[in-house]
Amino acid sequence: MRIALYGATGYAGMEALRIMLQRTDLEIVWIGSDTHAGHPLAEVCAQFRGASIASLRYSAMRTLEEPPDADVALLALPHGEAHRHAPGLLARGIRVVDFSGDYRLPPALYEQWYKRPAGPVETPAVYGLPEVFRADIRSARLVANPGCHATAAELALLPLAEKGWLDGQRVTVDAKSGVSGAGRSPQLTTHFVEIDGNFTAYRVGQHQHTPEIEQTLAQASRRRRRASDDASAMSGASMATDAASSGRQDDGAVKILLTTQLMPVTRGIYATAYAPAPPDMNTDALYELYRNRYENEAFVDVLPPGQIPELRNVTGTNLCQIGLFVDDRTRTILVTAALDNLGKGAAGQALQNVNIMSDLPDDYGLTATARR
Amino acid sequence: MRIALYGATGYAGMEALRIMLQRTDLEIVWIGSDTHAGHPLAEVCAQFRGASIASLRYSAMRTLEEPPDADVALLALPHGEAHRHAPGLLARGIRVVDFSGDYRLPPALYEQWYKRPAGPVETPAVYGLPEVFRADIRSARLVANPGCHATAAELALLPLAEKGWLDGQRVTVDAKSGVSGAGRSPQLTTHFVEIDGNFTAYRVGQHQHTPEIEQTLAQASRRRRRASDDASAMSGASMATDAASSGRQDDGAVKILLTTQLMPVTRGIYATAYAPAPPDMNTDALYELYRNRYENEAFVDVLPPGQIPELRNVTGTNLCQIGLFVDDRTRTILVTAALDNLGKGAAGQALQNVNIMSDLPDDYGLTATARR
Amino acid sequence: MRIALYGATGYAGMEALRIMLQRTDLEIVWIGSDTHAGHPLAEVCAQFRGASIASLRYSAMRTLEEPPDADVALLALPHGEAHRHAPGLLARGIRVVDFSGDYRLPPALYEQWYKRPAGPVETPAVYGLPEVFRADIRSARLVANPGCHATAAELALLPLAEKGWLDGQRVTVDAKSGVSGAGRSPQLTTHFVEIDGNFTAYRVGQHQHTPEIEQTLAQASRRRRRASDDASAMSGASMATDAASSGRQDDGAVKILLTTQLMPVTRGIYATAYAPAPPDMNTDALYELYRNRYENEAFVDVLPPGQIPELRNVTGTNLCQIGLFVDDRTRTILVTAALDNLGKGAAGQALQNVNIMSDLPDDYGLTATARR
Amino acid sequence: MRIALYGATGYAGMEALRIMLQRTDLEIVWIGSDTHAGHPLAEVCAQFRGASIASLRYSAMRTLEEPPDADVALLALPHGEAHRHAPGLLARGIRVVDFSGDYRLPPALYEQWYKRPAGPVETPAVYGLPEVFRADIRSARLVANPGCHATAAELALLPLAEKGWLDGQRVTVDAKSGVSGAGRSPQLTTHFVEIDGNFTAYRVGQHQHTPEIEQTLAQASRRRRRASDDASAMSGASMATDAASSGRQDDGAVKILLTTQLMPVTRGIYATAYAPAPPDMNTDALYELYRNRYENEAFVDVLPPGQIPELRNVTGTNLCQIGLFVDDRTRTILVTAALDNLGKGAAGQALQNVNIMSDLPDDYGLTATARR
């Protein structure tokens, strides 16, 4: 498989390179960077001095006349840039996995939350969350790789949404992210001195991953009801065990308040999600629900009751670790999800998607465990 | 004023020393440590080599036959230790400010949450949150200095509780604390390598500061209703503007889910509280409410709409910085409170209480600003 | 005393503000910033929201028509900027303490090491290392505040230079500095992600503090020989106890190799200096030498044999802590000096100089101890 | 190949596991831990929850009756423990790679520097620095894996020692290490709060890696002279180009002052070595010397003149990155070496040795590049 990597000097792009360099079945044929065009990889990123492609030179992206000769293109670019490159690649038959938000939302939502014009949408994109859309990813031409906060929140809440328990509820996701999520271009807000010993919320209530999470969870909820309707039609049985069953007048919409906060670590998302607990729900039952939901998923690790995710157990890996707790005093479900924003939150998930698109096992080349 | 400091080698004790050493009106006459008894201060804590009391020797606490000759004793000891020392001190007429949880709760609640027997309660303790109990603190013999998480959560939610808006609601406090809050005795969980790059929740739903927060907020709510009843009696007026007015059948109880999480910084509490928004409440109105509530408080800094607390702005100080946001999409009030767990969360607040007990201005000797 | 502060938004400028805000005898009448001109202090630096001068507005420096009305101006500006402002201030009779390298070296050396044209030198500057030049500082109109690396290296080596033991020797200073020393303007090299878990040397053998250190140590050596000549003339006695006595053909020049390295902390210089040990010198004797040399200095803390400086014991203070060791196996003197690059390495030392210029005790307002 | 790992819960042991788990040709058949005997791997080390050996249980080491059935045993134990286990393993024909200092020194030196009795030395150990002793390692039964500081200092100085340039000279190694090097058992000195923002020297002039470095460099020097004598015998030619040639009366001894310092990072050694420069030596010539010396070494990366090692480029890898500079002003050679103390400084190098012992390429399974 021949891979072209757009945006090879950002943190997500470098992580994609690092992972791919451990594989022998992938050939990295082209790396794109406007700033460093013409320079060899290892001159710009000294960590790759010993790599097989150390002397591969960056190509300019802006002035590109025709796409590189590749089977798959990974676009690890800022929002707004994928729209410029994806159509040409797709027209050439090159499959695209886009790391940005450009193809994750319908145009109206995109423009509302990203405050920029949406691009053309000739090729329909598949949302690249394998735990929900694996079948569609397999044959996709264009995959919209999920956002890092979105991946954590969605995996944390998906089993609840599929039960309909989030419909019409006040759901809160208190999320903390590492600094690499803020990108590599120097700003005062990512200066070491400003981050060291600090912790701060940002873009409170306005983070652009919010609609992406709501969309995925609403789809999960609708899917459930459709399945439920089908089942009812077939069997005539009632669905009384599902808390959010028929009587609801709402349309399955899930509303999320996403609080994003910057913590002084390089990598990681640690999201704590809060939702009302249905009657009789307890931690053990919740664990059963999640364990069943994710038992065939290589990268979702549901911890038994009493165990709590730690960020360092997922750093450098493609894992999402999930912890569960039902607080009886306030009747609240608390779900904690930990992942690496550059791993399962970006490059790792992109390569998981490439595996699926190539009929390889999800975890091919992605089995690294966390270091201490 | 002559001060005795019990537990002078822990992080809170050292912080109390650091603050007091900048004052000329306080004389530190006695420092207690069982581990280091007989050794001079600066030999054990090299940061005090140049201090006036560098050669003051630690005294053993366990074998103490009679209390030190002091006006005020600060007890910076682990839970369970204050019960052993406070009665003797009080009997001698020495006023006590206790940093631990020993005197914050009624015995039954203490035993339930601290999993240890409650001590004797001959002298009633005043809960040392000046923003609520200043009048009582002034004449108190025994002050129970609030917990670090509790101070943050209470200051964040107090104006809402006083309006009755928390009564019977599901309220969540997602709190993050620095490692110094875990104490100084070496454990694997505070090893640098285990904390660096890590983030983890702990004691989920079971943190012992929970009942303390609920108790303070319930008192605030009751106080409001009492005032409201008085007002009604006097004027016959209705209190329709208060959302939680008469019709409620609950008893003013406030239930909190407190999620405590360890972040890789030395100092700080960063608490994000979530509560349902009353109809028509918006960020501007919330700001007015908080600004009015805290306008005479030296150490509660309510940020205008759009500004967000940063931990580093309170580190090393006695400040609690508060940020406000009403999320219209989910009708949620989000209040963020940042403070230094060793400052306003422990030693700083203790010295604020000493000031109040001595008829000094609250901020005497506590005006340091945060450094970068 | 009325103070004007040029460059009030950099790390050294903010530290000067932080220290001065604890004093009641200083009035900060003017703060300069080109980027933030017109905005109030606390809007730009939120840590000063509660300060008395929170609403003082920055003034532009570039377009300044006449100097602010002050007694002393502190110039916390990048190299090359002081040359623009100092002459006008001095002409008005305002005393100047300059934090930059602009006035530390003769023009030729300045141009060689700073790679920029030297400025005018109408007013002779006094080098602001109180431990050597206190008498001159007292009456100085213009003080060149020493560099952070220079202060550490000079205090580490001064007693050796004054003995003549460094003349003609190979002396090495392996210095590590915190990131705040690299300034506040965002660069990739100070991005949190690039610093976290990293350690790297920079400007090896070419750091501009090198000639400043050599100049100060050479002056110390010459001073000794002059004193020695005077003594000889008076008494006719030989100076055989001094290793580097008369026979030397060199001219007292001291040559230093300074290795500067960036460590992942916000503040601090930790310098380890290596020099050949004279015969019979051992750790105890070295300690006696240093203790005697610095016994009247408030801010040089010479640790007894066996104790080793720790950076955290000086952070946030104006202290320089010194540790000593003579390695008998290699006959090497090892001197370790730790200080805060923003404290004794910049703003603290500047205010120590202001104290001296004002006939105040050196440590007035500078007695803070380090926190944990 | 069947591997037994003694000391599987320390940082070096866990790193060996992490590396081995990416290989399919190794079978980890036994893991030893006295503290956690009987418990499954992933229960104790949650980062291995998804690993193939997640449920492998730790075996007790102290009460072991006979060695595990393995081809190679890795001993990742504290000093003094290897002496207890190695003889039994060797007697069974199991090859041993020992991470500790137990087999690196002759008994007298061991007892002098380690302050403990030396163990039995029935089987001669080969010092496991492949860059010097690869041929001996290939057939070794017992490999003494080098210390982390020692590996850095030796690779930094080896080419100079082989030229004889270090004989009789004052050589200094200013070394900084990450906290994982201090081991995993909790101590106050490795508490996060005590390390965060701190930097400190320790065991100055007394670090037990000192004699190991001197021994390796002296062997390199002797080897050169032997080669030189052989060459002279054969050709009668003089070796005048070597600075330290025949006339020297010393016996090739190299004396090192090793300064060890703790930096606030989890992993890494950053060593700066200083030695006198021979006449006419300059940076370019030094680069040629090192490049030639290491050109066939997979894990020694000699940077071209002007480039400086960064710790983060070797973290998580088996690389040692070397930077070179000749300071003409002081005629000093400065060599910087950066490596990961758990990688090339422990587990990585151990597995490199296992590869050599198994006739595999040195870099088999060790090609990971550093992440950001």
pLDDT at D70: 98
Residue B249: pLDDT over 60: no
| Catalytic residue list of B | 148
D198 vs C171, C256, C312: nearest CB: C312
* Mean pLDDT over each residue of chain C, to the nearest integer: 93
Residue carrying structure tokens 């050479």: C218
Q: Do B21 and C51 touch (CB under 8 A)?
A: no
Residue C202 burial (CB count, 10 A): 15
Contacts of C342 in chain B (CB under 8 A): 371
Strand runs (DSSP E) across chain D, as ranges?
2-6, 27-32, 58-59, 72-75, 95-98, 126-127, 142-144, 170-177, 200-202, 255-262, 269-276, 300-302, 320-327, 332-339
pLDDT at C123: 85
Work out the minimum CA distance from C133 to partner chain B, whole angstroms.
Answer: 23
pLDDT at C234: 63
**Residue A232 pLDDT level (bands cut at 50, 70, 90):** low
Distance CA B341, CA B149 (A): 8
Q: Does A295 touch chain D (CB under 8 A)?
A: no
Residue D249: pLDDT over 60: no
Strand runs (DSSP E) across C203-319, as ranges?
255-262, 269-276, 300-302
- Region B19-48: mean pLDDT is 97
Choosing from A125, A148, A300, A338, the catalytic residue is A148
Residue D331: pLDDT over 90: yes
Chain B residue with the nearest C-alpha to that of C364: B22
Contacts of D265 in chain B (CB under 8 A): 196
Distance CA D325, CA B250 (A): 76
Query: CB under 8 Å to A112, separation ≥6 — which residues?
Result: A211
- Region D85-106: mean pLDDT is 97
- Region A1-24: mean pLDDT is 97
Residue A242: pLDDT over 80: no
**Residue A244 pLDDT level (bands cut at 50, 70, 90):** very low
Q: Do B15 and C371 touch (CB under 8 A)?
A: yes
**Residue A95 pLDDT level (bands cut at 50, 70, 90):** very high
D18 vs A18, A22, A369: nearest CB: A369
pLDDT in tens, D278-319: 999 999 999 999 999 999 999 999 999 999 999 999 999 999
pLDDT at C120: 81
Contacts of A264 in chain C (CB under 8 A): 192, 196
| Percentage with pLDDT > 70 across chain D | 94
pLDDT at B181: 96
**Residue A3 pLDDT level (bands cut at 50, 70, 90):** very high
Q: Do B257 and A327 touch (CB under 8 A)?
A: yes
Q: Do C191 and A196 touch (CB under 8 A)?
A: no
Residues of chain D with CATH 3.30.360.10: 149-340
A325 vs B199, B200, B205: nearest CB: B205
- Region B228-257: mean pLDDT is 56
pLDDT in tens, A192-214: 999 999 999 999 999 999 999 99
Q: Does C265 touch chain A (CB under 8 A)?
A: yes
Q: Does D371 touch chain A (CB under 8 A)?
A: yes
| C300-302 and C269-276 beta bridge pairing | unpaired
**Residue B252 pLDDT level (bands cut at 50, 70, 90):** low
Question: Which chains form contacts with chain D, at 3 or more CB pairs under 8 Å?
Answer: A, B, C
- Per residue in B24-39, is it b (16+ CB within 10 Å) or e — as a string? eebebbbbbbeebeee
Residue A246: pLDDT over 90: no
Q: Do C192 and A266 touch (CB under 8 A)?
A: yes
The residues that bridge with C275 in the sheet, in sequence order, are C333
pLDDT at A235: 57
CATH of domain B149-341: 3.30.360.10
Orientation angle between helical segments D130-138 and D148-162, nearest 10 degrees: 100
Strand runs (DSSP E) across A7-92, as ranges?
27-32, 58-59, 72-75
Query: CB under 8 Å to B285, separation ≥6 — which residues?
Result: none
Residues of chain A with CATH 3.40.50.720: 2-123
Distance CA A219, CA A210 (A): 14
pLDDT at C225: 76
**Residue D232 pLDDT level (bands cut at 50, 70, 90):** low
Residue C74 burial (CB count, 10 A): 31
CATH number assigned to the domain with residue range A149-234+245-342, chosen from the 4 options 3.40.1280.10, 3.90.660.10, 3.40.50.300, 3.30.360.10: 3.30.360.10
**Residue A250 pLDDT level (bands cut at 50, 70, 90):** very low
Residue A257: pLDDT over 90: yes
Q: Do A190 and C191 touch (CB under 8 A)?
A: yes
Which residue has better confidence, C48 or C236? C48
AA identity, residue D275: A
Which residue has better confidence, D246 or D5? D5
- Region B68-84: mean pLDDT is 96
Strand runs (DSSP E) across chain A, as ranges?
2-6, 27-32, 58-59, 72-75, 95-98, 126-127, 142-144, 170-177, 200-202, 255-262, 269-276, 300-302, 320-327, 332-339
Question: Which chains form contacts with chain A, at 3 or more CB pairs under 8 Å?
Answer: B, C, D
pLDDT in tens, A136-184: 999 999 999 999 999 999 999 999 999 999 999 989 999 999 999 999 9
Chain D residue with the nearest C-alpha to that of C266: D197
- Region B306-327: mean pLDDT is 98
Count of alpha carbons within 13 Å of A39, Cβ hemisphere only? 13
Residue C256: pLDDT over 90: yes
H-only helix segments in chain D: 11-20, 41-44, 82-91, 107-114, 130-138, 148-162, 192-195, 210-235, 283-294, 348-357
Chain B residue with the nearest C-alpha to that of C43: B307
What is the helix, strand, coil percentage profile of chain D, to 5?
35, 20, 45
Which residue has better confidence, C227 or C243? C227
Look at residue C339 and give its three-state secondary structure: strand
**Taking a C-beta distance cutoff of 8 angstroms, is the pair D268, D339 a contact?**
yes
pLDDT at A40: 98
**Residue B232 pLDDT level (bands cut at 50, 70, 90):** low
Q: Tell me the torsion sign for CA atoms B310, B315, B321, B326.
A: positive
**Taking a C-beta distance cutoff of 8 angstroms, is the pair D110, D101 a contact?**
yes
pLDDT in tens, B153-165: 999 999 999 999 9
**Active site includes D320?**
no
Residue C238: pLDDT over 70: no
Q: Do C184 and A196 touch (CB under 8 A)?
A: no
- Region D62-67: mean pLDDT is 90
pLDDT at D310: 98
* Mean pLDDT over each residue of chain B, to the nearest integer: 93
Distance CA A372, CA D190 (A): 15
Inter-CA distances, A47 with A78, C99, C195, D299, Å: 23, 37, 15, 13
Residue C329: pLDDT over 60: yes
Residues of chain C with CATH 3.30.360.10: 149-341
- Region C157-166: mean pLDDT is 96
Predicted ipTM of the assembly: 0.94
Residue B117: pLDDT over 90: yes
Q: Does C313 touch chain B (CB under 8 A)?
A: yes
Q: Do C190 and A195 touch (CB under 8 A)?
A: no
C205 vs D176, D268, D325: nearest CB: D325
**Taking a C-beta distance cutoff of 8 angstroms, is the pair A338, A280 a contact?**
no
Contacts of A180 in chain C (CB under 8 A): 193
Work out the minimum CA distance from C77 to partner chain B, whole angstroms.
Answer: 17
Residue C81: pLDDT over 90: yes
Give the containing element (helix H, strand E) for B257: strand B255-262
**Taking a C-beta distance cutoff of 8 angstroms, is the pair B1, B69 a contact?**
no
Q: Does A190 touch chain B (CB under 8 A)?
A: no
The fold for domain D149-340 equals Dihydrodipicolinate Reductase; domain 2 (3.30.360)
pLDDT in tens, B196-211: 999 999 999 999 999 9
**Residue A252 pLDDT level (bands cut at 50, 70, 90):** low
Domain C2-123 grouped into CATH 3.40.50.11750: no
pLDDT at A65: 87
Residue C245: pLDDT over 70: no
Residue A230: pLDDT over 90: no
Question: Which chains form contacts with chain B, at 3 or more CB pairs under 8 Å?
Answer: A, C, D
Chain C residue with the nearest C-alpha to that of B300: C50
Residues of chain A with CATH 3.30.360.10: 149-234+245-342
Q: Do B264 and A268 touch (CB under 8 A)?
A: no
Which residue has better confidence, C139 or D253? C139
pLDDT at B251: 53
Contacts of B180 in chain A (CB under 8 A): none
pLDDT at B292: 98
Contacts of B267 in chain A (CB under 8 A): 197
